[in-house]
Amino acid sequence: MPDIHVDDSDVRELARRLREARPGDWREGDLRRVAATLGWEWDEGTPPRLRTGLPAGDAWLRPVGRYESDYTDTEEFVGLHVPLARIEGGPQEKAHAFARAAGLVHQALGRPASIIGSYGNLGPFFDSPPGWGAPFRRWRDQRTGTTLEVHAGAGGPELLLFPNDPVEGWMWRQGHGAPYALSGFFATSNAGENAGLGIPGKWRAGDWAEFARTLADFLRNLPAETLALGIGLSLGVHGRIPGTHGPWVFHIACEGTLELAVYPLEGEGINLASLGLPDLGWISAAERPARLDHLERVAYHSDGFAPGEADGTRLAWMLVETAKALGIPSPGDLSLIDSAETITVLDGEGGRHRYQADYYGLTLSENP
């Protein structure tokens, strides 16, 4: 079956109209009024569906249920989902469709998203995101108390309109420091729309096994997520190797392709050749140069992985076993290099937009 996309002009018009929608208290009467304004037919069911006439399928409403009720007040619904495409292909094709939809919404609203990121393996109200990845781009609006999000659906991108308080409240309350409570990453701009937005606290992995598990989840879909968001991540990692001052040890580069690297440590008196890194899966840069930019010369690197190709568990344990071989005591002895938490996005029209990122799934931060 061929892929199905909502026409570009319809996506732009839909984004503008949803941005101006006023769902009020997000009760049934409010949403029926919004549907009537949009010319959509309300179809009773669980959950209620809205017949839009768009080729990618009907819109649907997310009702307040068992998990949502802890984060709501008077709301009866916490999201309006509108499919924008049905993609038969894999992660790469779905990521391209997401990027296309996000670009159209940017054009329609005339400004970049105020928040970008990935839900990782746990979305709002404890959802399991689709297997290909969980990227999102959000246009937050303080006037209406709503956010318009380009959202990853199982079959491709969706437009999602949601009330700010329940969704942001859910995320805020996961920032309690428990392992795996938050994953993925969350990056905010300094746009005025983000005023009053709470950023949840991070958690730290307590041991190498815990770190390997969350790192595996973080890496697995990162190629598709960076491709969908149109971003490149350059994550250098300091390691507190005993007897050193914490040199750059690892680098994670991802911009539609994922590659890990190990920096040379001759200056620290460490002979990497003695550690048997090829047995762990590393490739000597002397034998095959790295594909991606790792800021500085590297000694070893992984293969490069396109969307859908990365074995997150294998890559995570490659890095962990190397850290252990270097004598790094624990994940608490790793930190990000300066500027790793800054993401710069080029919008295709000459604009550069900066975001400050929190990498919940990585569990690492820059040094203070």
CA angle (137 as vertex; 133, 138 as ends), nearest 5: 135
Percent of the chain with pLDDT over 90: 94
CA atoms of 63 and 53, how far apart (whole Å) = 22
Strand, helix or coil at 27? coil
Beta carbons of 234 and 226 less than 8 angstroms apart: no
> Is the pLDDT higher at 348 or at 207?
207
**pLDDT score, position 350:** 67
Q: Look at residue 282 and tell me whether its pLDDT is greater than 70.
A: yes
**pLDDT score, position 170:** 96
Position of tokens 């209620």?
Answer: 48
Q: Where are the beta strands (DSSP E) in 84-155?
A: 85-86, 115-118, 135-141, 146-153
Q: Strand 115-118 and strand 185-188: pairing?
A: antiparallel
Q: Strand 156-163 and strand 185-188: pairing?
A: unpaired
CA atoms of 344 and 341, how far apart (whole Å) = 10
Which pLDDT tens digit goes with each residue over 117-152? 999 999 999 999 999 999 999 999 998 999 999 999
Q: Look at residue 368 and tell me whether its pLDDT is greater than 80.
A: no
Q: Look at residue 102 and tell me whether its pLDDT is greater than 90.
A: yes
Cα–Cα nearest to 229, from 353, 365, 121 = 353
Beta carbons of 125 and 71 less than 8 angstroms apart: yes
Which pLDDT tens digit goes with each residue over 287-346? 999 999 999 999 999 999 999 999 999 999 999 999 999 999 999 999 999 999 999 998
Cα–Cα nearest to 98, from 126, 53, 134 = 134
Position of tokens 């970008």?
Answer: 116
Q: Give the pLDDT mean for 252-259.
A: 98
pTM of the model: 0.96
Q: Look at residue 348 and tell me whether its pLDDT is greater than 70.
A: no
Q: What angle in degrees, to the nearest 10, is found between the helix axes of 91-109 and 222-229?
A: 30
What token pair was written down for 353? 């937009």
Which pLDDT tens digit goes with each residue over 10-61? 999 999 999 999 999 999 999 999 999 999 999 988 889 999 999 999 999 9
Beta carbons of 137 and 102 less than 8 angstroms apart: yes
Indicate the domain borders of the chain. Answer: 4-194, 208-358
Q: With cut-offs at 50, 70 and 90, classify the pLDDT of residue 349.
A: low
